[in-house]
Amino acid sequence: MLQTFRKHSGSIFAKILFGLLVASFAFFGVGDMFRSYTAMQPVAKVGSISISQEEFLHSYQKIVTRLQTIAKGKLKPDDIRNLGVEKRVIDDLVNNAVLDNEIRRLGLMVSNAALESFIKSVQAFQNPQGQFDRNQFRYLLYNNEMSEAGFIQQSRESLLKQQLVGTLSAGIHLPTKYRHLMFDSQEQQKVFNVVYIPLSAAKTNAEPTDADLDQLYQTHQDLFVQPEYRTVSLLVVDPKKLQEAITVTAEQIKEEYENRQVEFTTPELRDVTQLTFSSKENAKKAHTALAEGKSLAAVSKEFKGDVRTYSAANKDKFSDEHSKAIFALNNDGITDVMSSAFGATIFKITNILSPKTKSLDEVKGKIGADLKSQLYSAQMNELQNKIEDGLGGGTPMKELAQQYNLSEINLPPMTIGGLDKEGKSAIPAELKEVVLENAFNQDEGIASSLINIADGRSIAVLVTKITSKTLPPLSDIRDEVAKTWRQTKQREAASKMAQDMAAAVKSHQDLVMQAKHYNLSVRTLQPISRVDLEEGKLIDEKVTPQALRAAFALSTSQATAAPLKDGYVVAMPVKVMPVDTSKMKDKRDNFDKALQLMVQRDFQDSYIMALKEVNKPEIRQDVINNLLTR
């Protein structure tokens, strides 16, 4: 059940995300007449609404860019196709078009007043006093690469869809009794008795015949194939060695200070109070009152003005028109009545902070560090070029390490997972990812370019030897095959023991007797619920969440057996704890909301499917394929 909730929650989030990514896309370049015609064809059509290639490409490329960022650029075209991005994008665009088509048919509209109220209610656009902040609004749109007109149109479309689908699904509710039963099933704790059966408890004296070994060898060759091993050498460039050798003189610092005085000068800043009024008439009256010496608080109260203060503000804090007027005044000066997005406004200067230049003593530490950084960058760039030239020219790593005071690391033969022949990690933890990524994508004897790693070092990876994957003849690994055969028989015997025990018990006493028969013991676990299980609150070396999931569905007269890595476990519920709902009001309310959202989403999906039956979408897969193969 919890997995179902997660699935639906992910689905809802993904659909919202995909919807927000749909916008315009600038498409450049036109070929011959045929290609021009093809470029004009929509990727899909729903009723009177066409979905352009630009819309599809922009949404598709946005998603791919985000996926590549998450995957650190490692996704290949096949990976992207396997993730189903293409289908998800077209499905989302078509679903939006289906709803837009129905909105047009019904003639639904959103008034400007409702739209303005919605935008002003968005908490992200409000100041600490809970008022709409125009500057915050513009800032957030800019940071998210959205225009004001585009956001307003997107908000209008969102409200229309909410008006259509939200109204229809708002009245759908599951019966209270059903919701409570589902909640109780998730939160109800049970006490389990368990018996751990190690593989060693299953006694088997069987020995394999030659035929047994041959059959196991032939039918399970994957168990005995020796993986490909690669031997790797690393050349490590540590910037600390180079940085420690760089020095900067006092004369260099002084000269740099004189060249960068503008950087160390703080521009003039001002404390400003802004009064905004609903009418220009009130603003003029307020201006007169301020000029006569009345206080800001009194004026704002008398003429009902909204007050906002700016501390140590620079010119960039205001629009060009407002900034020019504000910074032309002396302290306590008042601007004329000016227009703004939310009414007539007046600015008053309450304090002026003069420009200030930091002294050499205050900034010499920073200048020295900057100069060292510049010298380091130049010297490191030169060193890296010399190393790259040496590697490209076939100079041995050992020789390069000696010549430039670098470190060389020779790693033992390793598998693609980075394990040596004893199954231990062959690579230092901080280098593992970059070594494996390169070592198994290079030919023998070929060194990689220098690769920057997280701790600031750079390494080059050289594959010195490749030992191909092989299947040894049975005669060479006969003992290993025989050991595997015995282990298989022992696991089969342990499995039978566990299944027989689970089938035989009808009560706690039965479980105790069965355990005693096999010289095993019964343990009682702490009370646990399905929610606890999914949240990882089960901490037990010999009982896995998978083992208890099946046991939750049993009565107190039943038991179940489940496999473990080193044996089996038999689990039996012995006590069901009552649910104390008086202490879970908030949790139950949140559960009800999540359940209601899931039901409404299911209804909305069904509604969209029904609309598609009326206006069947026409999807041009050939146009989509052509776009994605360019």
Query: To 10 degrees, the CA torsion angle through 372, 376, 377, 383?
Result: 170
**The pLDDT of residue 174:** 82
For residue 628, what pLDDT is reported? 83
Closest C-alpha to 547, from 268, 259, 255, 192: 192
- Got the DSSP string for 549-605? HHHHTS-TT--EEEEETTEEEEEEEEEEPPP-GGG-HHHHHHHHHHHHHHHHHHHHH
Per-residue pLDDT band for 48 (boundaries 50, 70, 90) equals: confident
For residue 150, name the pLDDT band (cuts at 50, 70, 90): confident
Query: What pLDDT was estimated at residue 588?
Result: 86
What is the band of 540 on the pLDDT scale with cuts at 50, 70, 90?
A: confident
The stretch 332-342 carries a mean pLDDT of: 89
Crossing angle, helix 585-614 and helix 176-187, to 10 degrees?
120
Tell me if the domain spanning 2-171+609-628 has CATH number 1.10.3120. Answer: yes
Backbone angles phi, psi at 275, to 5 degrees: -115, 125
* Residue-by-residue DSSP string for 235-275: EEE-HHHHHHT----HHHHHHHHHHTTTTTEEPPEEEEEEE
Overall average pLDDT of the 521-531 stretch? 93
Mean pLDDT of 242-251: 85
Residue 133 has pLDDT above 50, yes or no: yes
| Tens digit of each residue's pLDDT (9 = 90 or more) over 478-508 | 999 999 999 999 999 999 999 999 999 999 9
Identify the bridge partners of residue 308 per DSSP, sorted by sequence position.
Answer: 274
Mean pLDDT for all residues in the chain? 86
What global pTM score does this model have? 0.52
CATH architecture of 229-243+367-467: Roll (3.10)
Q: Tens digits of per-residue pLDDT, 267-295?
A: 899 999 999 998 999 999 999 999 999 99
Contact 126, 132 (CB under 8 A): yes
pLDDT digit string (tens) for 560-612? 999 999 999 999 999 999 888 788 888 888 888 888 888 888 888 888 899 99
Rounded to 5 degrees, φ, ψ at 576 are -110, 120
Q: Is the pLDDT of residue 37 over 90?
A: no
Residue spans in the chain of domains classed CATH 3.10.50.40? 265-357
Q: What is the pLDDT of residues 454-466, one digit of tens each?
A: 888 899 999 999 9
- In this prediction, residue 537 carries a pLDDT of 86
265-357: which CATH number, 3.10.50.40, 1.10.3720.10, 3.40.50.12780, 3.40.50.300? 3.10.50.40
State mean pLDDT over 543-559. 91
- At 470, the pLDDT band (50, 70, 90 cuts) reads very high
What's the confidence (pLDDT) of residue 39? 56
Beta strands in 472-564 (DSSP E): 522-524, 560-564
Q: Which residues belong to CATH 1.10.3120 in the chain? A: 2-171+609-628
| pLDDT above 60 for 4 | no
pLDDT band at 10; cut points 50, 70, 90: very low
Q: What percent of the chain has pLDDT over 90?
A: 45
For residue range 162-206, list pLDDT tens digits in order. Answer: 888 877 777 777 888 888 888 888 889 999 999 999 999 988 888
